[in-house]
Each structure stands twice: as structure tokens, then as C-alpha cells.
Structure 1
Amino acid sequence: MGRTEYYHDPDAPKANTLIPASNLLVVDADGAILLQRRRDTGQWALPGGAQDIGETAAQCAVRECLEETGIVAEITGFLGVYTNPHHIVAYTDGEIRQQYETTYIGRPVGGEPTINDEADGVRFVPPADLDRYDIHPSMRRQIGDYLAGTYPRLD
């Protein structure tokens, strides 16, 4: 399913859903941040996705990280809640979501970076190299909050 992201775009379509989602900002022992390159947008992002019925937001973050990157991670902290009504994601099936993400901080405990049907690139990126990557502004904000130590965020 294809998607188009709108960020502070006055021409964005009006949202018709609000789906809880979770991200996991995984940091290795050297301080590098785990990123995946999304096949649907081509941009680099934190692993994350929609929460399933029967799981907690934290369980969702860990599951999505494993599914999208091949990395088994454990949660070590909480970064924040990101609910920007000006971040809209339109899917080709007609669903138009307003952003609603809880983002956790974690560390890798197993697995290997692995590409899959959602990600065609997976790697740990040192903070000094982040500017070399096409990262969506909403993800940049979350990474920036982590690097600046300005968390937990509740907005």
C-alpha cells in the first residue's frame, strides 16, 4: 500500500483516522541510531508502526522494530508522545491519518540489520552522519529531541 506524507502542508487532505502507533529509537553502545529506509517513501525513519489490539504501546514498538529491521531491542526509556495535527499520512486505500505516535528509547539485544518488504535499507547511523540521510522532518524532530535530551515530550 502506497503512502504520501504531508507536513505543515496547506494542501494536505483532511484526516479521517487517528491510529495509535509506536516507534523505537534504538541506540547502540557507540551512540549510533538505528534507521530503516522505507520502501514506500524512500526516506529513512525510526522503526515503528500501528499498534495491534491486545498489545501495549511498548510491545508494539519492540515488535515493529524486529519486523522492520531484524533487530531485537529492549526499551530503556520513553522519548515522548507526538501528535502533530499538521502531519498527515494519506494511503492509497483512502485512509488519511493524523500523526499519533508514542516513541520509546531502546538498545539492541540481538538480531542483525535485515532488509524486508517494508525496508530496503537498515543500519545504525552515528549522530554526526544523520545530515547525509533523507529523514522525514517528524523523525528528525524525534531524533533531535533525543540528542538534545529534551524528553519526555508530550504534545
Structure 2
Amino acid sequence: MGRRIDYHEDPNAPAANSVRPSAGAFVRRGDEVLLIRRSDNGNWSMPGGGHDPGESLSHTAIRETAEETGISIRLTGIVGIFTDPTHLIHYTSNDEVRQEFSVIYRAEAIDGEPTTSSESTSVEWVPVDKIPALTMDPSQRMRIDWALSNTEPHFDPEPR
């Protein structure tokens, strides 16, 4: 398995060679949030992944959450749409450099127990007050902070 390297406003980052929609899920249970520790970079993250042909983006969020965590979810809303062109994701396994394009849904757990996968080395219900101490990419932290503090969906501001 290759590594995932995130670049933020980095002039030395490789040029983007793809844009692939992805979907993730912000799953809250009381004062806890469902998070995974990614196997490709060791960072904590909400579950999510790339959109596959033949499925809706909503289905992507549901499928990826089940695959990465063992938890079945029901979507309840949208946290936001995140398409920052200065956030690039380099997948070393195939040298893809993807421009960020993520839709994050709000969801609730309906079944299952936290179970790791090839994409997650840990799956936990993390208390909200413990999240700031976790190692995660700034994009994930921004998405989680937005989901915890806002009810309106996030969207990228218009270019200056």
C-alpha cells in the first residue's frame, strides 16, 4: 500500500492530475464522534472515500463508512462541500495528485460495532473533548470543527 501525502498552499507540491469526488460522514453519538486512524498516513479522520461509478454520492458516504468502520449509518444532513484547490492529495501508490473535492454528510449510526479494515488501523467513538489532541490533517480538523459548531452547510468562498 502506498502513502497519502496532503499539501496545503504549498508551492512545492506536485501539480494536480485529477479531481475525483469523495464523500465522508460526520457520525455523532451524544458527545462522541466516529473516527478512524488511517492506515495510509496514520492520521485520524472521519470515514470516507472516493465516489465510484454507478452509485450516488450519498451511497459513497454510507458504503465507505461501513467498509472502514463496520458501522451502518443513516444520512441526516450535510456538513458541507469542500473543494479547496490549494489542498492537494498525493497518493504514492499510483502517483495520483488529486485536488480536494469532498462532500461531508451528517449521519447517525444505526447498527454495527467499530471494526478496523485495510484502510483503518483504529476505529473509535472519540469524545469531542479528546479530538483536539488527535493527529489529523488540517482539512479534517476544519471539517470536524465546522460540523461541531455550525448548523448551516459549509461551502467554499468565491474566489477573490
Matches within 5 A, 1:4-153: 4-28=5-29, 30-92=30-92, 93-149=94-150, 151-153=152-154
2:155 counterpart residue number: 154
Quote the Cα distance in structure 1 between the aligned partners of 2:79 and 2:38: 22
The TM-score normalised by the length of structure 2 is: 0.93
Quote the Cα distance in structure 1 between the aligned partners of 2:148 and 2:104: 14
Q: What RMSD, in angstroms, separates the aligned Cα atoms of the two structures?
A: 1.0
Quote the Cα distance in structure 2 between the aligned partners of 1:31 and 1:107: 13
* Contact 1:145/1:151 (<8 A) preserved: no
Quote the Cα distance in structure 2 between the aligned partners of 1:89 and 1:76: 28
Superposed CA offset, 1:47-91 (max 9, x none): 000011111111100000000011111101111100011111111
Superposed CA offset, 1:17-70 (max 9, x none): 000000000011x23111000010000000000011111111100000000011
User: In structure 2, what residue type is equivalent to 1:53?
Assistant: P
1:27 partner SS: strand
Aligned pair count reads: 154
* Contact 1:113/1:123 (<8 A) preserved: yes
Superposed CA offset, 1:113-152 (max 9, x none): 0111110000011111111210111011111111111530
Q: Percent identity?
A: 38
Q: CA deviation at 1:10?
A: 1.9
Stretches of 4+ moved more than 2 A in 1?
Answer: none
Superposed CA offset, 1:80-115 (max 9, x none): 100011111111212110000000000100011011
1:151 partner SS: coil
* Contact 1:68/1:116 (<8 A) preserved: yes
* Structure 1, unaligned runs of 5 or more: none
Quote the Cα distance in structure 1 between the aligned partners of 2:105 and 2:44: 17
